[in-house]
Amino acid sequence: MKGRDARRQALVEQMADHVLSVGLPGASLRPLAAACGTSDRMLLYYFADKNELLSATLGAVAARLTQLLDAALPGIAPYAALLPRICRLMAAAPMKPYLQLWLELAALASRQQEPYLTIAGQLGDGFLAWTAARLEVSHEADRLSTASLLLATVEGTVVLRAIGRESMVAAALGQRPDEEPNPARLRRPRKSR
């Protein structure tokens, strides 16, 4: 890696650390530059504009999260087994900064604010692809719809936990709040005919 590329990547990693620590409110140029020990002008030397800088930073955060998910959930599994495993993983302490940042990004994207809308869409597409790759399906034609359902369910549990409704998550996963998920109780909704 050339010197400029290596410095840019180091800055991206430092900015990823910063936004995981303080969230998107700390993602303006001056706080990001301060976190990197440089000036906002110098940051813009390495990036075309703030949008590219944010995209690279949040992309690095997503890559870190993907590495955590890959390590925790190797291999493939059917929907009923994969859903509780992912939901349990999302409740683990190391995931908290990632999920807080994701919720902040989703809130800004929901207001159609750029670059957040574009970045959130790209990250969502990436996590859908990750989910689809982990799913064991009987019919390949069902992969995308099943992965979409799984991702939507996981995202719903993230939101419910964020608003303090763990009991709703437990009910959705077919368990009492004090017990581990039981994959045998989970059934993928059947398509209506």
CATH of the domain at 42: 1.10.357.10
From 130, 113, 5, 131, select the one nearest 56 (Cα to Cα).
5
In a domain, 193, yes or no: no
Domain ranges, residue 69: 3-185
Q: Which two tokens stand for residue 63?
A: 């890559």
Give the total number of structural domains in the chain.
1
Query: Which CA distances in Å does 176 have to 36, 92, 108, 163, 182?
Result: 45, 18, 34, 19, 10
Peptide bond connecting 115 to the previous residue in cis, omega within 30 degrees of 0? yes
Written as tens digits, the pLDDT of the chain (193 aa) is 688 889 999 999 999 999 999 999 989 999 999 999 999 999 999 999 999 999 999 999 999 999 999 999 999 999 999 999 999 999 999 999 999 999 999 999 999 999 999 999 999 999 999 999 999 999 999 999 999 999 999 999 999 999 999 999 988 888 654 444 444 444 444 443 3
In a domain, 139, yes or no: yes
In a domain, 191, yes or no: no
